[in-house]
Amino acid sequence: MVKGIDEAAVPSDGQSSGVGTRVILQNEFATLVYHPRFRIVHHTFHRPVPTEIFRAVLTRGVELLEQRGATKWLSDDRGNTALHPDDAKWSMGEWTERASAAGWRFWAVVLPDMALGRASMRRFLKHHIERGLRVRVFEQPEDALRWLEAPEATSSDED
């Protein structure tokens, strides 16, 4: 386990997917939760994320795709900025291949608040749409979660 990251079960928070929601990783930079009812992996970056934490969050998330048969991911990147080029290369290459092989099919994204991060993220969205991933962009994570919970979570766009 990466220093500064805790794993714990949490009770329902009353949110739409709250029943059984588990906090997998949590620290000052990021939180990773799993919504078992809808098999959704959900990360939140609270601030710009160092390489070690970024890769730990995405790696643990892809393990959930593999182990739990999850096909949906919610990325709440409002607190993040542009990734380091090495992290971008890793996530678009090695990590994407692993996530795709595990069955990742739907990606709901809340873009970074910072303009540099938003611009950088659009490149990732385009890359994944071209690979056949169903992608939607949202302003709020609650809306993104509702889309992923819906059985018809099938439309794709990059706006």
pLDDT digits (tens, 9 = 90+) for 37-83: 999 999 999 999 999 999 999 999 999 999 999 999 999 999 999 99
The pLDDT assigned to 18 comes to 54
The predicted model scores a pTM of 0.84
Q: Give the confidence band of 20 by pLDDT, cuts at 50, 70, 90.
A: confident
Asked whether residue 16 is domain-assigned, the answer is no
Please give the structure tokens belonging to residue 132: 């056949």
Q: How far apart are CA 58 and CA 86, in angstroms?
A: 14
Asked whether residue 114 is domain-assigned, the answer is yes
Read off the CATH number of the domain in which 123 is found. 3.30.750.24
Asked whether residue 135 is domain-assigned, the answer is yes
Task: Report the percentage of the chain scoring pLDDT > 90.
Answer: 81
- pLDDT, greater one: 25 or 16: 25
Asked whether residue 3 is domain-assigned, the answer is no
Asked whether residue 80 is domain-assigned, the answer is yes
Asked whether residue 9 is domain-assigned, the answer is no
How many domains are contained in the chain?
1
Which residue type sits at 25? Answer: L
Asked whether residue 98 is domain-assigned, the answer is yes
State CA 136 to chain mean position distance.
Answer: 12
> Domain range spanning residue 65?
24-149
84-99 average pLDDT score = 96
The pLDDT assigned to 152 comes to 67
The pLDDT assigned to 3 comes to 40
DSSP states of 67-81 as a string? HH---EEEEE-TT--
Asked whether residue 43 is domain-assigned, the answer is yes
The pLDDT assigned to 6 comes to 39
Q: How far apart are CA 22 and CA 34, in angstroms?
A: 5
β-sheet with 72-76: strand ranges across: 8-9, 22-26, 30-35, 40-45, 72-76, 106-110, 134-138
Q: Give the confidence band of 156 by pLDDT, cuts at 50, 70, 90.
A: very low
Length of the chain: 159
* Least confident interval from 94-108, 125-139, 143-157: 143-157
The pLDDT assigned to 119 comes to 92
Which helix (DSSP H) or strand (DSSP E) does residue 44 occupy?
A: strand 40-45
Closest by CA to 104, choosing from 63, 70, 58, is: 70
Residue 9 has pLDDT above 70, yes or no: no
